[in-house]
Structure 1
């Protein structure tokens, strides 16, 4: 019996008559496999020679596809052991949202604030538009560089609606939206986001300890309370090698 019978149906989806190159189809197959709970939680992926035999393709085709996943930092190969999903690749599903703190806590990671600054500023035109407030209104601006151990992973800049009053004395090791709920009395319910890819400029390179020009995932979000009033406008700059987004669309 095939050792990986749990993916038997997936293996039937490679179409040798399709105009789509086989290595692209196999890459898509591998992407579907690593999303399965057992593999996402550490089960070794099928061996390349085993996959090639069951798919009726060459081993080089499977290797080409798996190389792509390795380059994207989605899988890790260990000689003499096998290939597993890279658990340190943070995955956020776009059918739900959470804070970076929550995402990391769910993975058992200890967060570190490498930089932290909270100050009161006057809102510029962009912030005023995003939060639906008057130009030059006083708002709290929170800037943080966060990560794990000795690795900076993300640079956040947040602007809060004037009704959200933050204090230096709050414990910012907690998830931000828990603080807003417990200390300010507002429950964050909806997040509207825009995601884009950019190249690191000098400031971002310095903040995240990377080279100028390296890829950055930029995420802009407006967070709303239960009354659909804006609470926060946030810009997050993520090191691309550590993050990916998954999207599931339903008809």
Structure 2
């Protein structure tokens, strides 16, 4: 039997009770199916594999199942999803659970809900940052995923580097450098707040970067600097009032904090940054591979960095 079920509106009114762990056995050839016909094409719902014993909330499990159908390309942009009632019956969950799952997908920009018309697939391309890539975020999104990146530059100026940035760049304490702060959006949705610190020799370039430009591309063109490696440190932090306002979330909402240093082909660090990321708008994609042996010394430069900078 196929791993998916065609949805048909013929569930018996008093169907059998769900197993203790999964709502349906994927190997059960007698699993009930529903058929909901959209104007565009037939909708195929995945097996209702909701783990009843898992600590993961049902709405999150459901949203992951639906998200996989969208990102796999099985559900194309413009396709109308089954009704909330159909989803409740098929997956064996409450209407509240379905609404929470759909709200999460809508927040991620994957679906849109149109009053009086239904819920439609909005986007089938993943928003994900390939974190271990040495390329800048702008190049990653524009080139790898074809998304539109825009930035609002909040501050760009020469400055005394904070202690963690001096350490990461291999400078003496209180060395001078240049900084640029940006609120960055992907396809018009605010996704992150980014603060970069660079050596002062790049000041003229950094200070002239516009909102729709790539910082790394400008460094490549004007200084022949090519990113060759880097190190990223991640942790979860709550949003203070300023971050909440900048990123459009509630105060104390969880964000992913990323501290990074990037080095060039000579293993000289040329940029370090701190980023606060909305993971409901941008997921983190990590591919595991062997690190080059000569990266160890450069990687150690960020180990002794100061604690996370607080943005209230």
What is the TM-score normalised by the length of structure 2?
0.59
**Within the alignment, does 1:68 sit opposite 2:101 as a pair?**
yes
Look up the match of 1:245: 284
Matches within 5 A, 1:117-156: 117-119=156-158, 121-147=159-185, 153-156=191-194
Higher relative contact order (CA 8 A, sep 6+): 1
* 1:41 shift after superposition: 4.7
Paired with 1:36 and 1:206, the residues of 2 have a C-alpha distance of: 34
Distance 1:69 1:147 in 2: 22
Q: Deviations over 1:43-85 (max 9, x none)?
A: 44455566667x6x43x35862562352362343334132325
Tell me, yes or no, if the aligned pair for 2:151 and 2:184 is still in contact at 8 Å. Answer: yes
Gaps of 5+ in 1: none
1:84 equivalent in structure 2 = 121
**1:16-62 deviations in Å (ceiling 9; x for gaps):** 8x744894654442232232135475544455566667x6x43x358
* CA shift for structure 1 position 154: 3.3
Structure 1 85/99 Cα, relative in aligned 2: closer, same or farther at 3 Å?
Answer: farther
Taking a change above 3 Å as real, the CA distance of residues 166 and 203 of structure 1, as seen in their structure-2 partners, is same
Select 1:224's aligned residue among 248, 263, 266.
263
- Alignment: residue pair count: 240
Find the structure with the greater CA-based Rg.
2
Greater helix proportion? 1
Unaligned runs of 5+ in 2: 7-41, 290-312
Using the TM superposition, give the Cα deviation of residue 101 of structure 1 relative to its aligned residue in structure 2, in angstroms: 3.2
Structure showing the higher strand proportion among its residues: 1
TM-score, normalised to structure 1's length?
A: 0.70
Q: Deviations over 1:169-213 (max 9, x none)?
A: 455631111011111111113342223332222433454465543
Q: Summarize the Cα distance change of 1:64–1:150 in structure 2 as closer, same or farther, 3 Å threshold.
A: closer
Moved over 6 A (4+): 148-151
Alignment map for 1:50-65 (pairs within 5 Å): 57-58=91-92, 60=93, 64-65=97-98
